[in-house]
Structure 1
């Protein structure tokens, strides 16, 4: 090799090493910035919680008696997502969702289960599905879902509703635009809660958005609330996946982490999160259980007004929605 060729080759190596070094330093700087943003936001949330004297701990000791797969690769993730309101020291679950994430297909689906769905609760007979959480926490709720809907769940995320307000305020500090279709009004003088939205476009901060998704005092009742929850999740997904939204992810995660209890390891959360932001889905598929036309309105003294579902029809719908490649559906007896 001539001296001229040798010099050019050495120059290429130097340029390559310089570029590699700059990229490495950039990655380290970004990681350090993200780490600082995360821990600062997390500490701010913890300080606020301690100053307010409130508690976000569930009244139940969380257990989830399942075997964790040894394979750490990104396979299908089945997640029981529960939204709780711990006001007054008593944890109540108003939101029950089954989330299914398929990284290879960049697909996310959310099946919302109406809290008044009348089902068999292991060891407690029939009752509303949200009673399972009151009786035995997340583990009994998981068992109830698996018994009635034949769908295995290995992971959970229990989220306090205060975290929802923080997500909105962190992702979109100037608020998010929501189209209110009909007048929404509710007042609880005991709790000092007032929900009052006129029809039209509203720019809502976190507190207002939380009122919007929890409203149920109209003809739609819980069905309207579930629809609004799904609507807001889609809006927030678009905000987070935007360029400015992604830049806020470290502070977003840090600010809501103290409000979340989950059995997903930190490694898996980071892996799924990284995959989501690099190869996220365009839309979130949604389903509401019981599906339209598959239930009757009933009343029982011990449970009150309930939605009594046709489990065969709803199992078919849930199976086709969450796992369309399977044809296996367990047939339930119609006996009480």
Structure 2
């Protein structure tokens, strides 16, 4: 009799445990759905609400050895049917070291675009979307791209304000106003949304596009630090909801979650960055398509290859 009573108690405890787990699971699902829809409600009708239907099919290679190269494209179409890319980066993620590196590609690089001849590299996006950008990078810099993500700048400020609700701290070296529709005054300050977008897009100074690329890499690094916080882990469904209409990507949900989990686990790792072309590897020239950067392709291919490949020390430090 005692044995039967004990067995019944165990069954009751097991049933209660299963019910509790089920309740928690349902609660989390409801919370995620609510947060995601809440994020969607804060986003307007972005141009990329239908992922992978805006552009031609993307033929990225399969990731190898836990490492992936993601093509990041910033688009600022003002009604043009075929807008050029405003920002072009390669984000490299290594799931073994839980680290991310970013290479920023100067948009005025003079390259061979398959089927279109010599052009500035930012024209590839206008001619053939992310797939032609992938082909152009492979042909000129010999880098295999696995995924792509296109960000519409209209949603940049909304996304950043959720990821970094307290803003991003920057040190503005001089007044920035031309072409921005606003004035950013010099000095150390915290920027939100539209003002942060103006900061990363300003290029009318003595450094021209080089200064803009430096600011972009600075902000990407600081936003990444904010993104791996506990606050954003809780708000991830809402962030995805806000971002969805403004981002076109072929990165599947499982990969996004895997990368997010890895970055949170390795959040103490500083994001490395590089600009292509590197210093002393290019000359300024004016050709039929305007002012361009003619680069030393062999030097830049080698530098980029060395940057993207994980070293033995990095792998050992991750263990």
CA distance in 2, matches of 1:89, 1:125: 22
Instruction: Count matched residues.
Output: 309
TM-score between the two structures when normalised by the length of structure 2 = 0.85
Match of 1:138 among 125, 130, 135: 130
Question: What secondary structure does 2:171 align onto?
Answer: strand
Match of 1:187 among 174, 178, 187: 178
Contact preservation (8 Å) 2:164, 2:226:
yes
Structure 1: how far apart are the matches of 2:150 and 2:202? 20
TM-score, normalisation: structure 1: 0.81
1:42 Cα deviation (Å)?
A: 1.6
Is the contact between residue 60 and residue 144 of structure 2 (CA under 8 Å) also seen in structure 1? no
CA–CA distance in structure 1, aligned partners of residues 253 and 229 of structure 2:
24
- 1:331 is matched with none
Distance 1:67 1:179 in 2: 38
Indicate whether 1:244 and 2:231 are aligned: yes
CA contact (8 A) 1:112 1:226 kept: yes
Contact 1:184–1:218 under 8 Å retained in 2: no
Q: How far apart, in 2, do the equivalents of 1:68 and 1:312 lie?
A: 23
Which of the pair has the greater relative contact order for Cα pairs under 8 Å at 6+ separation? 2
| Alignment pair present for 1:167 and 2:129 | no
Match of 1:311 among 290, 297, 314: 297
Say if 2:53 is the partner of 1:66. no
CA RMSD of aligned residues (A): 3.0
Alignment partner of 1:258 is 2:245: yes
Structure 2 CA distance, aligned partners of 1:14 and 1:218?
A: 72
User: Does structure 1 residue 230 correspond to structure 2 residue 217?
Assistant: yes
- Contact 1:117-1:306 at 8 Å conserved across structures: yes
CA deviations over 1:170-227 (Å, ceiling 9, x no partner): 12334332222x1132334xxxx43422221222220000000001111111111111
Consecutive unaligned residues in structure 2, runs of 5 or more? 313-319
Larger mean CA deviation between 245-254 and 140-149 belongs to 245-254
Q: Distance in 2 between matches of 1:3 and 1:263?
A: 60
- Give the alignment partner of residue 212 of structure 1, picking from 199, 213, 234: 199
**Contact 2:48-2:244 at 8 Å conserved across structures:** no
Shift of 1:19: 5.0
- Relative to structure 1, is the Cα distance of residues 65 and 37 closer, same or farther in structure 2, using a 3 angstrom cutoff? closer
The equivalent position to 1:87 in structure 2, one of 78, 99, 104, is: 78
Task: Tell me how far 1:325 sits from its aligned partner.
Answer: 5.6
* Structure 1 residues not aligned, in runs of 5+: 327-336
CA contact (8 A) 2:42 2:242 kept: yes
Distance in 1 between residues matched to 2:27 and 2:48, nearest whole Å: 34
Question: 1:29 aligns to what?
Answer: 27
| Contact 2:169–2:190 (8 Å) recurs in 1 | yes
